[in-house]
A and B are shown apart, each in its own frame.
Chain A
Amino acid sequence: MSDETGDRRTGLRSTLASVGSDRGRFAIGNLLSTNAETTGMTANSGSKAAETTAAERTTDAGADSGAEMSAADRPLGSPRVDDAIIESRDLDVFYGDTQALQGINMDIPEKQVTALIGPSGCGKSTFLRSINRMNDLIDVARVEGELHFHGKNIYDDDVDPVALRRKIGMVFQKPNPFPKSIFDNVAYGLRVQGKDDDIEEKVHQALERAALIDEVEDKLDESGLDLSGGQQQRLCIARAIATDPEVILMDEPASALDPVATSKIEDLVEELAQEYTVAIVTHNMQQAARISDKTAVFLTGGHLVEFDDTNKIFENPESDRVEDYITGKFG
């Protein structure tokens, strides 16, 4: 599988490169020249178009497994995937009176990288946090709808969020190592989950898989806070994978890092997808294009507008608003 994935990615990258040069506007500089007024207008007019198209398309849903998707909030593209490990169905999230997510319907395929992109405040991080029920920790947050993990709705009353989070690890936007030694940081999850047999070996392995071991081998008892930002983030990734979860959620894991550290994290994400399911929120569209297999585009107001294979989204999106966002006309 890894060879195949590798080939596919190489293909995707060359495709994207050509897209970039052909259109001549696939550059981050364009993202900065966004006009706020245009943004609002595009968003409003596009929203209605998206709904209409979505309603028309419901008939060709790939209904081979899992829960059905409702017609109303079905995004453009192919929101159903064959080997889904997570299926979101009409998921609404509210913070007090504000609705942060509007009927999200999408699948996350197993052992692939799914990127969630969109402008600030579009709800992509909220969606990520609702996958492992981190929103439970916010007093005013309220969730409606269903989110299935291995076919089980995690918002059922009999689901223990603590047990869920042991299966679905998380890496945050800002590196947040504990004020403990490097070893204890990685060992923490193993200890709370009672997996602390052969702990030395497991910590070593996790640091190895997080591509950090060479840099910290001789100083495992030093504080995790003494590492550089990029090293801290890889330490947090090591901490998350040490307990061997099935899914790893990453909330803009490279946004606080310099380009060199960022490229290390990106390499690592591709590496991790061989063993884990990865869902990654990112602001950086080239990053999404480089590392992901599927891409979900959220736009203003907590709507998931389009979900599809990453190359489809970046080459030929169905929604004009998505195309505008990808090419930097708005966002």
Chain B
Amino acid sequence: MSSERMDLSRNGNDVGTLGDRVARYAFFSCAFVTVLTTIAIILVLINGAVGFFRQATLVELLGDAVSAGSVGGAADAIGEGLAAQVTVTEFLFGTDWSPLIEPTSYGVLPLVWGTLVVTVGSALIAVPVGTLTAIYLSEYADERVRRTLKPILEILAGIPTIVYGFFALSFITPIIQFFFPQTGTFNATSAAIVVGIMIIPMISSLSEDAMSAVPDSLRNAAYGLGATKLEVSTQVVLPASLSGILAAYVLGLSRAIGETMAVALAMGMLPQITTNPLEEMQTMTAYMVQVGISDVSVGSIQYQSLFAVGLTLFAMTFAMNVLSMWVRSRYREEYQ
């Protein structure tokens, strides 16, 4: 009997076989690729942005310092490279953006303004429509209607954004022009409407998920007290799912901030700060398209301005994502 004793000790063969280990590293490296990409993008943006604000990029500074040969030479080269090209103050608070036409000026506010107009305008459309759609789908629609409507909404989310741009240009703008004949071919209203339509599925779908997660016991409690369906939806389900709904808003809006093709097409390329939404404006993303397809040379200040604008955009969407996470944890409800 003793010779038949079961051996449960590790002997190096039964645990962590080669195949196991290979699979583990394969999965890990896939996950690691996304982390690396994120880090790389941030580094590239920062490197380019330094090149915009100073005479040389970080990489160029490093190269100059190495090739200078002596410590003093390296210090001189770095000092020279760090001389200001565009001041951060001028960039962040300047109200004139004309990088391609002399005399050049690099105040980013007109681009930020254009982005804000589209974002706020699209929110005015997508937040109410998206929320009401979500309430309808979650509380009112019967199973059959829900099964039909949800895929249609998801198709809306799958349409390429450039198609939305054409749609704005060829359909929405003429309608606006019918009512306001002074409206230009490119205008902020049309862009805001189309971006609003674009993010409705995102807001309604995420909000509906949040509302469906509210347990029926809460609905029953309210119905049992003689609440109407409208009261149950707005006073019980909506507040109970507030965190998810607010997070949906924030995600929808950060999509609006980053939206590119539709606004480039519908809103135009004229950076200006104006309160008239029927005029042409330019968003940060549209500017980046404009430079991207123009013939500016690599290393020029116009080319480097891409990185500065890109970094600003990234900072905004990143802030929105952080806000979304904060909202989620701040307003999280336990229903038990």
Contacts and interface: CB of A to CB of B under 8 A. Distances in A.
B297 interface: no
Nearest to A175: B336
A31 to B, nearest CB: 27
Contacts of A180: 239
A282 to B, nearest CB: 18
B241 to A, nearest CB: 10
A240 interface: yes
Contacts of B218: 176, 178-179
Given A178-B240, A192-B231, A225-B336, A236 B226 contact: no
A166 B224 CA distance: 8
A139 B224 CA distance: 17
A243 B224 contact: no
B235 A139 contact: no
B268 to A, nearest CB: 47
Interface string B311-330: 00000000000000000000
Interface string B282-296: 000000000000000
B222 A188 contact: yes
A162 B227 contact: yes
Contact of A240 (B224, B227, B235): B224
A165 B235 contact: no
Nearest to A226: B334
Interface string A89-114: 00000000000000000000000000
Given A139-B143, A225-B334, A176 B226 contact: no
A169 interface: yes
B225 A192 contact: yes
Given A178-B236, A178-B240, A192 B226 contact: yes
Among A174, A192, A243: residue with most chain B CB under 10 A = A192
B9 interface: no
A169 B225 contact: yes
Interface string A156-171: 0000001101100110
Contacts of B142: 139
Given A176-B218, A178-B218, A165 B334 contact: no
A61 B223 CA distance: 36
A70 interface: no
Nearest to B229: A162
Interface in A141-194: 162-163, 165-166, 169-170, 172, 174, 176-180, 188-189, 192-193
A236 B335 contact: no
Given A139-B143, A179-B334, A189 B225 contact: yes
Interface size grouping (class) on chain B: 20 to 34
Given A172-B217, A174-B217, A178-B218, A165 B333 contact: no
B228 interface: yes
Contacts of B239: 179-180
Interface residues of A, number: 26
Interface string B265-287: 00000000000000000000000
Contacts of B215: 176
Contacts of A239: 221, 225
How would you classify the secondary structure of chain B's contact residues: helix, strand, loop or mixed? helix
Given A139-B142, A225-B334, A192 B235 contact: yes
Contacts, number: 72
Contact of B220 (A137, A166, A188, A243): A137
A139 B334 CA distance: 27
Contacts of A178: 218, 221-222, 236, 240
A197 B227 CA distance: 18
Interface in B224-276: 224-228, 231, 235-236, 239-240
Contact of B226 (A137, A163, A174, A177): A163
Contacts of A193: 225-226
A97 B124 CA distance: 47
A162 B220 contact: no
A251 to B, nearest CB: 10
Contacts of A192: 222, 225-228, 231, 235
Nearest to A191: B235
A179 B213 CA distance: 14
A134 interface: yes
Contacts of B228: 162, 192
Contacts of A177: 221
A192 B223 CA distance: 10
A22 to B, nearest CB: 41
A132 interface: yes
A72 to B, nearest CB: 32
Contacts of B334: 179, 225
Contacts of B217: 172, 174, 176
Interface in B176-234: 215, 217-228, 231
Interface string B78-98: 000000000000000000000
B230 to A, nearest CB: 10
Interface in A127-142: 132, 134, 137, 139
Contacts of A189: 225-227
Contacts of A240: 224-225
B221 A172 contact: yes
B225 A134 contact: no
Nearest to A171: B224
Contact of A236 (B221, B223, B235): B221
A170 B226 contact: no
Contacts of A188: 222, 225, 227, 235
Contacts of A163: 226
27 contacts: A134-B224, A137-B223, A139-B142, A166-B226, A169-B224, A176-B218, A176-B220, A176-B221, A177-B221, A179-B239, A188-B222, A189-B225, A192-B226, A192-B227, A192-B231, A192-B235, A193-B225, A193-B226, A225-B334, A225-B335, A225-B336, A236-B221, A239-B221, A240-B224, A240-B225, A243-B225, A243-B226
Q: Closest 5 A-B residue pairs measured CB to CB? A: A166-B226, A170-B224, A189-B225, A176-B217, A165-B226
